Each structure stands twice: as C-alpha cells, then as structure tokens.
A and B are shown apart, each in its own frame.
Chain A
C-alpha cells in the first residue's frame, strides 16, 4: 500500500506528494495529517505538489479540507510548487482553493509559514494578562 510520508521539522509538518494519487490515498493523507497536527502541536503544514501533474476537483478538495482542518487545529497550510499547467487547468476547472496559501517553492513556503507562526507567537500571552 502506498503511503505519503509526513516529516516533522521543528514546529512544521512537511509533505511532498510524489505519486499519482488515487482517491483513497488522498483521503488517507488528509486523515493522517490531521492526526499528526494534533499529536505534534505543529503550527504549520507545507505541502509540496511540484510532482503532481494534475490537480482535479477531488485532490483540490482534499487540499482545501486539510487547510480548513489545520486552521481549526491552529496551524497554517501552504501549498508550494504548483506546476504552471496545473494552475491554468485549476482555474479553468473552476476550482479556487479558499483559505489555502500558496508559494512558488519550498523556500518561500517555509518563509511564509515561519513569519505566520512567529507573528502568532509574538502576541502577548492572553491567559497571563488575565491573571495579572
């Protein structure tokens, strides 16, 4: 059985999709990633889709679901490396990925997640203020 590995790097989870995903595999990734966010307390999820040569509505929905579930679990999602032909096709298909941040490559995606999670961590601790 195929499996898409999920790597943990500091407070981020990294996923690189290297296989032509069938629908069950996409569902499995969605479930495993959600479980992993909750288990590790990760603040960001980076999904590299540079090897995907299509994104259809099912895979698109899986990505949007991951982003929505991650947000509920207090983590940001960035999708990186979308091929230009895939981007053109997605728009024509009518799929916009609401709430999904994108970046051109892994470097930029990491920078985006780091700044997003740092901004949150710099906020004053709400509980601490209440007890003052």
Chain B
C-alpha cells in the first residue's frame, strides 16, 4: 500500500496531545476530508494520544498519508513500550477504565474511524492503528 508521506511525533506530555491533534487536523485537510470526518479523526487521535501518555507511559504517534487506488486515507499509529493491556476486549468496553477517565477512549476512538487495530503484549507495550478514508 503506497504511503506517500509519514511523520512521527513524540508523546510525552499533555502539550504533545495538542500537537498531535493539530498535525492530524492539517493532514486530514490535505487528504480532502470533510469537516465532520476531520473532527472524528482528530477526536479519535486525541483519545489515543492521551492513552499512550496516561497508560503507556509515553510513546509516539506516526501519521501516514495513504493513496490506495482512487482513495486517500489518513492512518495514525500509536506506539508505547508501557505495561501493555492484559484484556483487550475489556479495555474496548465502554465505561471500563483502570484510570480515572470515562472509559470511552478506546471504544469511542474505534467508532470514529473506518479501521481500528490494536495489539498489546503485557510488559512490552501497546500499538493502536487507526485509519480513516476520504
């Protein structure tokens, strides 16, 4: 799958979540997303960026602009080397939280994108990949 451009951003602090939101917004506009689609992608990225910091102990967000045949998409990969998620199904359940959040981050982000993949190993880290097509 041809990726035309990629960029990796560090996720260490709350200010980095804002930087990721702004980068995703800019790239979503470039990919030709409608305002609603931009907003959904930025919101999903905001949830996952915060998870990477709060639960993964920090990590990275990598943006990819994808062109696949006639369609364009935006993919964002969130990676951390934190404690991992023992039970992914449980973590995806709405209102389940191990922190002090609302427990809408993972499940909510999943609903806002077209493709959602999560892989995690306890003690090694978590990787979440979201893609939204124009």
Using a CB–CB distance below 8 Å, which chain A residues touch chain B? 20-24, 53-58, 60-61, 83-86, 88-89, 92-95
Contact = CB atoms under 8 A, between A and B. Distances in A.
A65 B60 CA distance: 30
Contacts of A92: 40, 108, 111-112
Closest 3 CB pairs of A and B: A93-B108, A85-B39, A22-B14
Given A89-B36, A93-B104, A57 B17 contact: no
Nearest to B109: A93
Nearest to B42: A54
**Chain A's interface: helix, strand, loop or mixed, by majority?**
helix
**Chain B's interface: helix, strand, loop or mixed, by majority?**
helix
Contacts of A58: 46, 50, 101
Interface in B4-54: 14-15, 17-18, 21-22, 25, 35-36, 38-40, 42-43, 46-47, 50
B107 A89 contact: no
B28 to A, nearest CB: 11
A86 B39 contact: yes
Given A54-B46, A57-B101, 14 more contacts: A20-B18, A22-B15, A22-B18, A54-B21, A54-B43, A60-B102, A61-B101, A61-B102, A83-B39, A86-B39, A92-B40, A92-B111, A92-B112, A95-B108
